[in-house]
Structure 1
Amino acid sequence: MNVTIDKNSGYCFGVEYAIQMAEDELGHSAELYCLGDIVHNRMEVERLHQQGLRVIDREQLGQLHDCKVLIRAHGEPPETYQLALRNNIELIDASCPVVLKLQNRVKHAFDATTRQNGQIVLYGQPGHAEVTGLNGQTGNRAIVVMTEQDLDQIDFRRPVTLFSQTTKSTAGFYRMKQMMEERIAAAGGDLTTFDANDSICRQVSNREPQLRKFAHEHDVVVFVSGRKSSNGKALFGVVNHENPRSYFVENEQELQDDWFEGATSVGICGATSTPMWLMQRVADRIAEVGEAVA
């Protein structure tokens, strides 16, 4: 049985940058705090915990003083930086440059649209760290949507500016855009006041066509990702649509031998938050299964 790891899978630039910053700091510090999981992958979080990275939540951040805290790639709202100043916390800011640029765009759009009685809409997962940071640029006055039902929150007779969480599905964003245009027309609104911005990271969106091709090249596909990963859910949907013999796992312990019955080719791929070492571990376990059934 031939087992292949997708060379295009693995960390995106933002995640790789954040982990490198954490490891560099831990190289000369026994302990470092991180606001939220540094990456939505339990295995990687556990590996870095062993090196001294301690995950905290926002409530715990408020109790800290005179220490160092890492801001992960997802970015943070303005109030996090204000709290750090008050509590003499040194922030090691590993916010992804793509996310920071989007935060700036949302802030400028909010300032402009407020003068026109408009609304900022974010296509993204409510409660997701990146969405929290983006919404913070609007004073938490943006409308967050994920489903068609969520659109009921919007007044389509008023101007609307739409942005997307950077790791969402491109197809999902354009479906949302189309539904919003239909709602504007039905409400008698003005489509010229609807500004839709495809702000999905191209490192993420470019993986979709690559994964479609990869899924077709193998009898079985194993997609490796943390279950908290928004990007992982979106990309697995792409793979599973192309190849029904696709399986989602967090690690090699979740593999089931009967998945590979009759397979001569197995492909391993993952999310932008999946480390290459974990995909290799999954590949090694599948290779053992192949030897056992040969």
Structure 2
Amino acid sequence: MEVSIDKNSGYCFGVEFAIKMAEDEMEHEDKLYCLGDIVHNDMEVARLKAKGLAVIDREDLKDLHDCKVLIRAHGEPPETYQVALQNNIELIDASCPVVLKLQHRVKTAFDKMQREDGQIVIYGKKGHAEVIGLTGQTQEKAIVVMNDEDLDQIDFQKPVTLFSQTTKSTKGFYALKEKIEARIKAKKGKLDEVDFNANDSICRQVSNREPQLQVFAKEQDVIIFVSGKKSSNGKALYQVCLQENPRSYFVENETEISNEWFEKSDKVGICGATSTPMWLMEKVAKYIKEQDELIPA
């Protein structure tokens, strides 16, 4: 078998930056707290835990004092910074610059919508860490939408400003944009800039993975997609692979791989999500190469 790793897979800049900050900090700290999983990959979380990174939630944060807490790439709402100030917590802020810029844009747009009796709508997953940070910029007044049913929360008689979670599908965003436009026209009989302002705030480093992955998946006989099961990005990108190559398999690590998936002459491609570490894909590739002699000719 010929085994190769997709050169475009692996951490996005924001995740890589956050993990580097955590590792640098832990070189001279016995313990560093992290607000939520630093990345949606259990293998990487376990690796960093062994180095001293302790995962906490927002309720835990309220009980901590005089310590250091890492903010991961997803960003945090204003409330987190207020709690840290009150409890003398030093924040190691690894928020992705793309997310921070979006938070500022959402806050500015929200202030404008408040004056104009309008609404902020965010295309994203309710409860997702990044979305929590974004809705925090709007005093929790933003409307979070994922599907057609969620659109019923919007008052189409009032102005709407739309943003997207940075890791959502570009195709999904523009499909949602068209649906909102159609509903405003149906309700008001017209559509102009006062009625609707759509902002494509998707990170291009993430969205470009789809076309890159389509090409890679077509070039292989078998695709082994490596990702944590909690990764939304992983689930979406795996579907991209599956559409291009029906012999695509989703695994969390090498223990989930079956030799029945392969033939001796196969070209096997290893790829993953923006939350999949390169060391894990390399481990999976090494395992598959070691199985080669067990695959019947």
Measured against the shorter chain, the TM-score band is: over 0.9
Q: In 2, distance between residues paired with 1:15 and 1:189?
A: 44
TM-superposed CA distance for 1:182, in Å, is 1.6
TM-superposed CA distance for 1:113, in Å, is 1.2
Contact 1:158 1:189 in 2 (8 A): no
What per-residue deviation string (whole Å, max 9, x for no partner) do you get for residues 67-118 of structure 1? 0000000000000000000000000000000000000000000001111111
Which of 136-145 and 188-197 deviates more?
188-197
TM-superposed CA distance for 1:190, in Å, is 4.1
Q: In 2, distance between residues paired with 1:160 and 1:256?
A: 49
Pairing partner for 2:254 from 249, 252, 264: 252
**Which residue identity is paired with 1:3?**
V
Q: Where does residue 63 of structure 2 map in the other structure?
A: 63
Q: Where does residue 204 of structure 2 map in the other structure?
A: 202
TM-superposed CA distance for 1:240, in Å, is 1.2
Q: In 2, distance between residues paired with 1:233 and 1:191?
A: 35
**Which residue identity is paired with 1:150?**
D
Q: Where does residue 182 of structure 1 map in the other structure?
A: 182
Q: Where does residue 5 of structure 2 map in the other structure?
A: 5
RMSD of aligned residue pairs (Cα, Å): 1.1
Contact 1:220 1:263 in 2 (8 A): no
Q: In 1, distance between residues paired with 2:120 and 2:293?
A: 55
TM-superposed CA distance for 1:189, in Å, is 5.5
Secondary structure, in 3 states, of the residue corresponding to 2:80? helix
Pairing partner for 1:240 from 242, 245, 255: 242
**Which residue identity is paired with 2:260?**
D
Matches within 5 A, 1:113-192: 113-188=113-188, 190-192=190-192
TM-superposed CA distance for 1:291, in Å, is 2.3
Gaps of 5+ in 2: none
Return closer, same or farther for 1:291/1:134 CA change in 2, 3 Å cut-off.
same
What per-residue deviation string (whole Å, max 9, x for no partner) do you get for residues 16-69 of structure 1? 100000000100011100000000100000000000000000110000000000
Secondary structure, in 3 states, of the residue corresponding to 1:187? helix
Structure 2 length normalisation: TM-score?
0.97
Matches within 5 A, 1:30-49: 30-49=30-49
Secondary structure, in 3 states, of the residue corresponding to 1:195? strand
Q: In 2, distance between residues paired with 1:14 and 1:157?
A: 38
Query: What's the % identity of the aligned pairs?
Result: 71
Q: Where does residue 27 of structure 1 map in the other structure?
A: 27
Structure 1 length normalisation: TM-score?
0.98
Matches within 5 A, 1:30-109: 30-109=30-109
Q: In 1, distance between residues paired with 2:234 and 2:265?
A: 24
Q: In 1, distance between residues paired with 2:119 and 2:273?
A: 32
Contact 1:222 1:268 in 2 (8 A): yes
Secondary structure, in 3 states, of the residue corresponding to 1:113? helix
Secondary structure, in 3 states, of the residue corresponding to 1:55? strand
Q: Where does residue 283 of structure 2 map in the other structure?
A: 281
